[in-house]
Chain A
Amino acid sequence: MRYLPHTETDRKDMLDAIGVASIDDLFVDVPEVGRLDGLIDLPKKQGELQVERAMSAMSSKNVSASSVPFFVGAGAYKHHIPSTVDHLIQRSEFLTAYTPYQPEISQGTLQTLFEFQTQVAQLTGMDVANASMYDGSTACAEAVMMAARVTRRMKAVMAGNVHPHYVEASKTLAKYSDVEIEVTEPRLGGLETLINAIDDETACVVVQTPDVFGQLHDLRAISEAAHAKGALVIAAFTEVVSLGLIEAPGAMGADIAVGEGQSIGVGLNFGGPYVGLFACKDDRRFIRQMPGRLAGETVDADGRRGFVLTLSTREQHIRRDKATSNICTNAGLCALAFTIHMTLLGEKGLKQMAVINHETACSLADALDAIDGVEVLNDAFFNEFAVRLPKNANEVVDALAKVGVLAGVPASRLFPSQFEDVLLVAATEINTDEDIAIFDKALRSVL
C-alpha cells in the first residue's frame, strides 16, 4: 500500500527486535471477544486512479455554484477567492502541522493566528478575538454560555430572526445546563418585541444583523436597554463581508460579536469546514471566560518577539471539568485562509467588495420587485433579502433548479410550516447582470 513504507523484511526485523514472533503478539491485550478473524467486510485497497474515478462520479452528480446563476445564501455565501489563498494553505508547513504546542517551531501558525485575532477584532469593532471556533453557530452558542458565566445570570433571550441553526445550536449546548433560552417570534422587520423580553435576570440578548431575512438592524437601542438591565449584548452575523460596509457591532454597543467567517477565504464546501469568529470587549471578566485558543505575544530567551498559545488555564487540557468550553481542535486552516484573503483585500478591497455585493443585491431586488406578485420585503439589506412570492417558495426553487437556476433558500426550510411563500435570495460579486436577467426571466416563467 502506497502510504505504508515497511517491507515484509522490515516488519520481520522489527518484530525480532521487539522479541515477539508475530504481530498478533502485540495485540495480546485485546480480549478474545474483540479479536476479528480476517478482514472487515468492506472493499479492498485501490490505486489513485480507481479512487479518483469513484469520487469524481459522486462529485459529478452535484450542481456546483460556479456552473449556474447562483443566489443561495442563508448563512453561507459564494464569493470569489483569490488563487493565492488556496496555494498558501496547501503549503506543507501550514497544512500538515498540529496545534502549535511547541511555539519555537510553530511561529508560522502562531503569528498568523495573532494576525487573525487582530483582523477579527478590527472588523467587529471589538478589543480581542480568539483563534477561531468551529463555525458561526457554535461560536454563538459558546457566547451565550459565556454571557451566563460573566453575569452569573441564567436567562438568555434570542431574537427570532437570528438564523434558526444558530438558535438550535445554542439551545443544544444549553439544553442540560442551568441556562434557559427564550426565543422571540421570528418576524420580518424590527426587533421591538425583543426589548420587552429583557429583565433583571437576563444574562444576554442575542441579535443578528443582517438577520436571517437579510434585514439590517441598528443595535444601539437594544444595547442601551440591555445594558440598563445589566445584560450583555451578543451580536451575531452570518455574512462577514457586510462588516466592510455596515456599522461594526462594537460601535453599536455589542459586548460579544460572533459570526461566520466562511465568506472570506473558505468557500462553500457543502456546509463545512467553516470558521467561527468570536470577539469581545477587553474586560478581564470577559477574557477569562472566553472559550477556545488564544495566541498571545511574548519574548524569547534573547528578548526577541514571538508568539505562544496563552491563558490556557481557561481550557479543557488544564482546567478539565471547570473549563470554559470543551473545545480543543478549532478551525486553524480556515482561519489561515481567512487571514490571507483578508490581507489580500485589505481595508480598500474589503470595502470595495462589500459595495459591489450591495449594489448587485440592489439590482437583483429591483429586477425581482418588478415582477407581478413578487414583493421585496426588506427596507434595509446588505447582500441578501427576502421576497414574497405568489406561490410556495419550495416549489418555485425546485422548478427553477430544473431550468438551471439556483434561486435561493425557501424560508420554510429554516422555519418549518412558516413563511411558505417567502424566498431568501443572496447576491454577491460573483453574480453578473446576465445572471440576474436569467433569474428574472426564469422566475417569471415558473410563476
Chain B
Amino acid sequence: MPMNTQGRPTRMADNIATGGYAETTSGSKGLEQAEPLIYERGSAVQTGVDLPEPKGTPSRLGGLARQSELGLPGLSEPETMRHYVRLSRKNYAIDLGLYPLGSCTMKHNPRLNEKMARLPGFADVHPMQPASTVQGAYQVIGELAHWLMTLTGMPGVAMSPKAGAHGEFCGMMAIRAKLDADGQTHRRRVLVPESAHGTNPATAVQCGFTCDEIPADETGRVDMEAFKAKLGDDVAGIMLTNPNTCGLFERDIREIADLIHEAGGYFYCDGANFNAIVGRVRPGDLGVDAMHINLHKTFSTPHGGGGPGSGPTVLSEALAPHAPVPYVVQNGNDWELVEHEADAAGEPFGRMAAFHGQMGMFTRALTYMMSHGSDGLKQVAEDAVLNANYIQARLKHVMTPAFDGVCMHEALFDDRFLEGTGVTTLDFAKAMIDEGYHPMTMYFPLVVHGAMLIEPTETESKSGLDRFINVLEALSLAAKAGETDRFQAAPIHAPTKRLDETRAARQPVLRWHPSESNEMEAAE
C-alpha cells in the first residue's frame, strides 16, 4: 500500500480496501457540503425578509381570500445564502474550466456585460412606460438591430424572439405568412437535413408544415442529389444549419439557396453556429432568407443553467414585411415603438410574446459587440475555428474524426476509436468528468455513430487546449489499453455517482412531497 510522507495511506481506494472511510458521518466530503432541499430545511414561520407590519385595512378581495395552505418553506438570510452557495458548488461552469459542449458555444462571459445590464436605466425600467421616458431603451434595441443586420448583411430583423427556438419559429412563421400572402398555399413541405437540431423539425410542424429529411453525404454535408430530388412545387423551404451540426461549412450553400429559390421556396438558416463565421462571412451574401441569432451563444450572454436566451431573427427583403410586432423605428431624433398590427407598415404575422424582447440580453450583447468591434468579432470567428482545428489535428492519431478535412468551430469525432474496448461514448464522457472537464456534446448529430462534438470556443488559451488534448489522449489510450473499469465506474470524483435516468423517467418524481421528508428523516 502506498504511504505518504506521514506514513498514512495515500489513496481513498486503500481506505476502502481496508474497510475504509469513503463515507462520512455528515454526508459532506470536505469542501463538498451535503445539502437537503429547502423543504427539509425551512419552515412556514421562518423568513429572510423584514417587511413592515400590515395596517389592517379591510380587504377588497371580493370574498376570494386564499383558503388553501401555501406550504412554502422560508429560510433566514444566512441560511438562504449558505443553501444556494452550497448548491452552486455542485455545478460545473465556464468560469471553472473548458466547457466543450458542441453546438452550445460556451465562451467566456465578460462581467462588463453584467454590469451594464444592471444600470438602472435598463434593469429598472418598465416596458409600458411612456415613450418619452424610455428613449435610451428603444435606442439599445435599435442599435443592436443595426449591428445584427450589418453583421449578417440582411435588411430586416425581428428582435422579440426569446431564445433560439423562438427565433426559428419567428423565421418560419414569416416564411409561412409570405407564402400565404402570395397564394402559395400548396407549399407545405419543409426540407430538413437529418443532422439538424431537433428544434428545426419541431418548429416546422408548429408552423403547419410537414418535414422531409435530407440525408447527409459521405462528407457530412447535404447530399445534393437527394436534395435536388426532393424539390417540387409543394416545397416551402429548407431549414439548414450552417456551419452545420457536424462542424462543417456547407460548401454548396449558394447552390442550395439558388435551387430552393428557383423552386419557389425560402431558405431558413439555423444560426446556432454563427460564432464560426461572425465578422468574416455574411449569411445575406449566401442567399439566406431568415436566420435566428443566439445572443446567448455568439454574443456571450450567459447561459444561466438553461437560459434566458435571446433569438433575434434577421430577415430578407421578401420576409421583412411579415416581421412580428412590436418593433422600434427611428423618427428624426426620436425612437418610437410600433406595438399593434394595425399600425405596422407591413403585414406582421402576429406577436410572439408579451412586451418587446429580452432587453437584459440586448444590453449584454451590445456591450459585448462594442467591446469587440468589427475587428475583434472577426478574430472571434478565426480563433474559434483555429481552436477546433487544433484539437482535431492533435487528436486524430488517437481518436477518429468523423469526416476528413478541416472543420469550422467544432471538431466532430465518432466512436470507432473505442471499438472493441467495451467503452461507450457515454462512459468516455463520464470519465472526462473525473478529469475535471465538462464532457462534449454526446450522441449528436445523429448522423454519426456515438458522436462526440467538441466546441472549444475562442476564449480558450493554447496552454489550456494542450492540457485538454493531453487528457483526451490519455483517456483514449487508457480505453484502448483495456482500463474499462475506470470508464464504466465514472464519474467517481463528481458530487454524485452516475445517476439513474431510466428510473427517473419510469417512476417520475417531479416535486417534493411532504411524506418524503419524513421518510428521509427516518432513513437518516
Contact = CB atoms under 8 A, between A and B. Distances in A.
A334 B201 CA distance: 28
A63 B39 CA distance: 40
Given A11-B386, A293-B306, 13 more contacts: A66-B124, A165-B353, A172-B351, A271-B356, A319-B202, A325-B202, A332-B303, A342-B72, A359-B54, A378-B60, A401-B133, A416-B343, A429-B52
With most chain B CB atoms within 10 A of its CB, the pick from A176, A311, A335, A346 is A346
Contacts of B89: 93, 108
B308 A272 contact: yes
Nearest to B147: A42
Given A122-B72, A297-B509, A321 B204 contact: yes
Interface residues of A, number: 212
B438 interface: yes
Interface in B322-362: 324, 339-340, 342-343, 349-361
Interface stretch (B7-15, B248-256, B471-479): B248-256
Nearest to B37: A115
Given A6-B461, A90-B114, A358-B59, A123 B125 contact: no
A101 B52 CA distance: 43
Interface string B276-315: 0101111001100000000010000011111111100000
A14 B466 CA distance: 10
Nearest to B508: A296
Interface in A324-366: 325-336, 340, 342-353, 355-356, 358-359, 362-363, 365
A283 interface: no
A118 B72 CA distance: 9
B99 to A, nearest CB: 7
- Report which residue of B254, B352, B433, B444 has the largest number of chain A beta carbons within 10 angstroms of its beta carbon: B352
A347 B373 contact: no
B101 A101 contact: yes
Q: Quick one: which of B88, B136, B304 has the most chain A CB within 10 A?
A: B304
Q: Which 4 interchain pairs have the tightest Cβ spacing?
A: A346-B74, A380-B62, A333-B304, A271-B355
Nearest to B22: A302
Contacts of B134: 62-63, 270
A372 B249 CA distance: 69
B125 A318 contact: no
Interface string B34-62: 01011100111111110110110111111
Contacts of A86: 118
B374 interface: yes
B385 A59 contact: no
A402 B309 CA distance: 35
A327 B136 contact: no
Interface residues of B, number: 208
A76 B75 contact: no
Contacts of B46: 346, 348
Nearest to A59: B121
B198 A315 contact: yes
B120 A72 contact: no
Contact of B93 (A1, A95, A322): A95
B162 interface: yes
A300 B254 CA distance: 49
A236 to B, nearest CB: 11
Given A114-B37, A300-B498, A6 B462 contact: yes
Contacts of B143: 58
B437 to A, nearest CB: 9
A161 interface: no
B30 interface: no
18 contacts: A6-B462, A26-B382, A42-B150, A58-B140, A63-B134, A78-B126, A97-B91, A127-B511, A175-B173, A269-B360, A272-B353, A316-B165, A326-B168, A326-B203, A328-B165, A334-B304, A349-B51, A352-B51
Nearest to B81: A84
B482 interface: no
B66 A63 contact: no
B23 to A, nearest CB: 9
B355 to A, nearest CB: 3
Nearest to A349: B47
Contact of B73 (A298, A331, A346, A406): A346
B303 A96 contact: yes
B349 A397 contact: no
A390 interface: no
Contact of B133 (A56, A63, A345): A63
B163 A173 contact: no
A94 B374 contact: no
B389 A267 contact: no
B425 interface: no
Contacts of A308: 499, 501, 504
A329 B165 contact: yes
Interface in B105-161: 106, 108-110, 112, 114-116, 118-130, 132-137, 139-140, 143, 147, 150-151
A177 interface: yes
Contact of B71 (A29, A122, A316): A122
Given A14-B386, A109-B91, A316 B199 contact: yes
Name the residue in B60, B135, B163, B382 with the highest tally of chain A Cβ atoms < 10 Å from its Cβ. B60
Contacts of A3: 108, 110, 371-372, 376, 458-459
Scoring A29, A74, A299, A340 by chain B CB atoms within 10 A of each residue's CB, the highest score goes to: A29
A269 B363 CA distance: 10
B510 A294 contact: yes
A93 B503 CA distance: 27
A5 B459 contact: yes
Contact of B305 (A209, A301, A316, A333): A333
B386 A109 contact: no
Given A6-B461, A20-B406, A51-B112, A34 B254 contact: yes
A18 B405 CA distance: 11
Contacts of B202: 316, 319-321, 323, 325-326
